[in-house]
Chains A and B, each alone.
Chain A
Amino acid sequence: EAQVTQNPRYLITVTGKKLTVTCSQNMNHEYMSWYRQDPGLGLRQIYYSMNVEVTDKGDVPEGYKVSRKEKRNFPLILESPSPNQTSLYFCASSFDPGEKLFFGSGTQLSVL
């Protein structure tokens, strides 16, 4: 089954404790992206990747890091999480950045 898999689904952590949210897709997509979704603000892009070893900032990249060492994986790293990073996070992928995006099921992150 074609899918984008994110883990974990739910995560509660404390300020400053480094964490990684994993994302994997099995559709051989070149383009992958991370979004955060907040009430009243909608989906905002954090980082995206056009291909292996090619990443770039989206609209709200501060406080986040990403890497793309393999085509299928695109982890999101929060080196020192802060409460304002409490949000619902989605990973997405597609063959082309302007085409249909396939989304993961989301990761609800709470930073205390």
Chain B
Amino acid sequence: QKEVEQDPGPLSVPEGAIVSLNCTYSNSAFQYFMWYRQYSRKGPELLMYTYSSGNKEDGRFTAQVDKSSKYISLFIRDSQPSDSATYLCARRLLQGGSEKLVFGKGTKLTVNP
């Protein structure tokens, strides 16, 4: 089982909608998760990170971790066309004596004006 599973989408919503992007993970050893945003023809950029259960807010974005169900979510309020991108979840794993980030496959989001 892959360490991080992500809804593939694509997801298309109207401007102003609330967007929910989700990932599940399979190993409970580490509780450090990240969300990256990748615009077309660009490298991914870190959007948010969270260490533990609960919510973390940053403007219109909220990252949520549910340890009991091994579920991580990114919510976008009042979505804008500029939010159109691929969103990748990632988690920190210990592998071969060193740590690394493992990425989900990404969800492509389109926000229509």
Residues A42 and B105 in contact, CB atoms below 8 Å apart: yes
Residues A48 and B103 in contact, CB atoms below 8 Å apart: no
Residues of B within 8 A of A90 (CB): 43-44
Residues B105 and A103 in contact, CB atoms below 8 Å apart: no
Within the assembled complex, what's the spacing in Å between the Cα atoms of A109 and B58?
A: 36
Minimal beta-carbon separation of A110 from chain B (angstroms): 15
Chain B, interface residues (CB within 8 Å), range: 20 to 34
Minimal beta-carbon separation of B10 from chain A (angstroms): 12
Total number of residue pairs linking A and B with CB closer than 8 Å: 49
Residues B41 and A97 in contact, CB atoms below 8 Å apart: no
Within the assembled complex, what's the spacing in Å between the Cα atoms of A100 and B32?
A: 11
User: Closest B-chain residue to A35, C-beta based?
Assistant: B103
Interface presence of A86 (CB below 8 A): no
A–B pairs, 20, beta carbons within 8 Å: A4-B43, A41-B105, A42-B104, A42-B105, A43-B106, A45-B100, A56-B98, A97-B99, A98-B99, A98-B100, A100-B49, A101-B44, A101-B46, A101-B101, A104-B43, A105-B41, A105-B42, A105-B43, A106-B41, A106-B42
Q: A48-B100, A97-B98, A98-B101 are in contact. List 12 more A-B contacts (CB 8 A).
A: A40-B8, A42-B88, A43-B44, A92-B43, A96-B99, A97-B100, A98-B99, A100-B49, A104-B43, A105-B42, A105-B43, A106-B43
For the complex of A and B, 7 pairs with smallest distance between CB atoms: A103-B43, A42-B105, A98-B99, A98-B92, A43-B103, A100-B46, A97-B99
